[in-house]
Amino acid sequence: MLQVLTGEAKGRKLKVPKGRTVRPTTSRIKKTIFDTLGDISGFKVLDIFAGSGGLGIEALSQGAAHVTFIEKNPLVYRVLRENLHLCGFLDRANLICAHYEGALKRLKKSGKRFDLVFIDPPYILYRRKQVGDFISQLSELLEEDGTIVIEHNYRIENSIKGFKRITKPFGGTHLSLFRRGDE
């Protein structure tokens, strides 16, 4: 069962679409992410491959000012919208139902910048993209002292120029935080 761990909506149960269309971040990984990030009050957050919204909703519950969610599957998008409504966070959210690359282009064009970006892509994408590819795509949208949190299914050996990386393994999943400006 997926639920909000802390903050304003603590204990709120979140809906998850039936089937295998979504791989929600486990409570253990989510707790590690937010413990590592610390205070995110007032942050502008981007949640790519948002699924049912677990990470972005947790961020809102912990005081993020606003979260932009990107989810391309219309059925999953509806569940995400319901979860935001259940938690009372629709007024602090922007939902985009589109393929992530097109959505990122529109966000770049509009000049949007984020303090924190969550990216939890379907692992099948790692057949054609590396973690560094995602970081490069997002760097233009990231504030100067921003952080990118990415889940991936393989070990990262090298660092990415301009970022300090912290990686934590969780069985077959790895969690990496890339903080800009701390080379």
Give the least confident one: 66-70, 125-129, 153-157.
153-157
How far is Cα 84 from Cα 69, in angstroms, rounded to an integer?
10
Measured distance CA(52)–CA(2) in Å, rounded: 9
Cα distances (angstroms) measured from residue 122 to each of 61, 84, 126, 147: 25, 22, 8, 20
What digits encode the pLDDT tens for the residues 84-110? 999 999 999 999 999 999 999 999 999
Query: Taking 90 as the threshold, does the pLDDT of residue 23 lie above it?
Result: no
**Given pLDDT bands bounded at 50, 70 and 90, which one contains residue 161?**
confident
pTM of the predicted model as reported, rounded to 2 decimal places: 0.93
